Structure 1
Amino acid sequence: MGDVLVGTCSWTDRALLASGWYPRGHRDPGPRLRYYADQFPVVEVDSGYYALPSRRNSLLWAERTPPEFRFDVKAFSLLTGHPTRPASLPPDLRESLGPDLRRRAPAAVLDRVWERFAHAIEPLRTAGRLGAVLFQFPPWFAPGRPTEGSEGADGPYGSGGPAGLNGHSPEKTLEECAERTAGWPVSVEFRHPAWWRGEQADRTAALLSRLGFVAVGVDMAQGLESSLPPLAPVTSPELAVVRFHGRSPAWGTGSKEDRFRYAYSEPELAAWAPRLRKAAAQVDELHVLFNNCCADAAVRAAETMRRVLGTS
């Protein structure tokens, strides 16, 4: 069975810092990350979604963690077709854009965004700390049709849809993403449930496998139109990823805090153990990440899951 690495989707979340989980004297960036890395073997850098990551930070993160520690880095919003605030870009790129990136970003600017994202995370890859770059596609990114999404936005590879190129299908968009990320470990999370329902699930797994992408399974509230099934798909022999979002009934309607406010019980996590062990038996490494980042709920759930799975 492959190594099972359990952790959380942030170690710098304000609610976690305020919860008291970090001991006194561990609130500055260096001691804080070292403490987290003493408790868990993997973490997700969710800040990469909101702003381009910093190469300096990647160098510091590699220095402050042991060789076996892994960082999964969430891709910048512009690269996955989400509406992006120009203020989240460096000033020199911001000046080349209008007030709202719901409209098409110039190709030259987009190329520079890709280059800077790659440059920023390269120290983690070189140091062997990069687990995967997570591409979480938006809810309107559905299989089998051009991605003319409800946001009316142009996409990360050109105009035509929130995550498409001139009306290309999502499948074509994924192929273009594979070209952009050649040589990276890449994981893909879909937010539209059709990707993993019925016969489409096999087609989705085959597509991701062909592109060399790692499928991301999720745990989330069920019974909603947007609910993804609780699966742990395996599309790569190197890695599998499962992200636990919590099961808040406010998932589709509440604020961000409301959506992620959820405390997993041990029986809920134990019910996942057979799926996780089955996935781990097929890969070199399995990442289990908790995204219910409200106070210390994510770290407590991660601690419980490690106990359930018997991992160190």
Structure 2
Amino acid sequence: MGEIRVGTCSWTDRELVASGWYPEGHRGAEARLRYYTAQFPVVEVDATYYGLPSTRNGVLWAERSPAGFRFDVKAFSLLTGHPTRSASLPADLRPALARQRGRTEPDPGLLDEVWGRFSEALQPLRRAERLGTVLFQFPPRLAPGVPAEAFLRRCRERTAGWPVAVEFRHPDWWRETHFAHTADLLAELGMAAVAVDVVQTLPASVPPVTPVTSGRLAVVRFHGRSPAWGTGSKEDRFRHAYTPEELASWTPRIRAMADRAREVHVLFNNCCGDAAVRAAESMRDLLAAPVVPGPAD
């Protein structure tokens, strides 16, 4: 069985910092990361979606984490086809972004530069063997089809040699009628599929399937089960405290994923207060408990 690593989708979220989860004396940037890495073996860096990371950050994250720790780094918004604010770019790149307003595709020169800087910022983590994967979370408008597959292939060309995981937000990718094709495509591209837990009562709800498309890694992201998923504020979308029963329903599926991948990253994104770290602690305990055999047939 592969190794199961449980963690959260941020260690710097303002509500987490304000919740009191970090003890006194662990409120600075370095102290917070060192405390987090003593509790969990993996974390997702979501700040890299909202702004280009710097090489300096990569160096500091590597220095402040123990050997064997994993950082799953979320791809910058411009690289996944999401709207991108000018302020999220370094100052010297903002004029190029402004010039491309109204275009359906980013300026190739700007895209080349952003890809280059993003890749360079990850090098310290790669050299220190701390990079778990680069997470490409694609927007809901990326529906299955020829254009979307071409976009995925371009992303793979840009990330040759990187560990990559893919989360689709359009539910049709994992509907029963398209499941096999999606899994085959990701396996062909060497990309790990991301399973998700979200509320299942909305038209945009992604099915809670558990595809494993890479023998190296599988990922599960728990977004919470708020009925405001996809709408409202961030707090509305992700406000959910997982119950033990909700978490326990996932443990057999996670263990089954670990039978097919060397590592499984289980990440909680219900980042309101300390809900994510508490859920991660509970899931870690559930997965550590012995498996109780069911009744014999």
Task: Tell me whether the two structures share a fold, i.e. TM-score over 0.5.
Answer: yes
* Alpha-carbon distance between aligned partners in 2 of 1:99 and 1:260, rounded to the nearest angstrom: 34
Give 1:102 deviation, angstroms.
5.6
> Greater shift after overlay, 252-261 or 80-89?
252-261
Residues 171/303 of structure 1: CA separation in 2 closer, same or farther (3 Å cut): same
* Alpha-carbon distance between aligned partners in 2 of 1:92 and 1:238, rounded to the nearest angstrom: 38
Matched, 1:117 2:118: yes
1:99-110 alignment runs, 5 A limit: 101=101, 103=103, 104-110=105-111
Give 1:86 deviation, angstroms.
1.1
Match of 1:205 in 2: 183
Matched, 1:277 2:266: no
Give 1:111 deviation, angstroms.
0.2
Report runs of 4+ in structure 1 exceeding 2 Å deviation: 99-105
Q: Aligned with 2:282: secondary structure? A: helix
Structure 2 segments unaligned to the other structure (5+ residues): 290-297
> Greater shift after overlay, 190-199 or 102-111?
102-111
1:70-219 alignment runs, 5 A limit: 70-98=70-98, 101=101, 103=103, 104-145=105-146, 169-219=147-197
Give 1:96 deviation, angstroms.
2.2
Deviations 1:74-111 (A, max 9, x none): 00000000010111100111122327756343211110
* Alpha-carbon distance between aligned partners in 2 of 1:89 and 1:7, rounded to the nearest angstrom: 28
Structure 1 segments unaligned to the other structure (5+ residues): 146-168
Counterpart contact for 1:86–1:99, Cα < 8 Å: no
Count how many residue pairs are aligned between Structure 1 and Structure 2. 288
Q: Aligned with 1:97: secondary structure? A: helix
Residues 171/30 of structure 1: CA separation in 2 closer, same or farther (3 Å cut): same
**TM norm structure 2:** 0.95
One-letter identity of the residue aligned with 1:256: K
Match of 2:45 in 1: 45
Q: Aligned with 2:207: secondary structure? A: coil
Q: Aligned with 1:25: secondary structure? A: coil
Deviations 1:25-50 (A, max 9, x none): 10101111000000000000000000
Give 1:144 deviation, angstroms.
1.6
Deviations 1:110-136 (A, max 9, x none): 100000000001110111000000000
Counterpart contact for 1:188–1:215, Cα < 8 Å: yes
Matched, 1:245 2:223: yes
Matched, 1:9 2:9: yes
Residues 143/59 of structure 1: CA separation in 2 closer, same or farther (3 Å cut): same
Q: Aligned with 1:73: secondary structure? A: strand
**TM norm structure 1:** 0.90
Matched, 1:61 2:58: no
* Alpha-carbon distance between aligned partners in 1 of 2:157 and 2:77, rounded to the nearest angstrom: 18
One-letter identity of the residue aligned with 2:73: V
One-letter identity of the residue aligned with 2:85: R
Match of 2:198 in 1: 220
Matched, 1:34 2:12: no
* Alpha-carbon distance between aligned partners in 2 of 1:194 and 1:282, rounded to the nearest angstrom: 24
Give 1:206 deviation, angstroms.
0.2
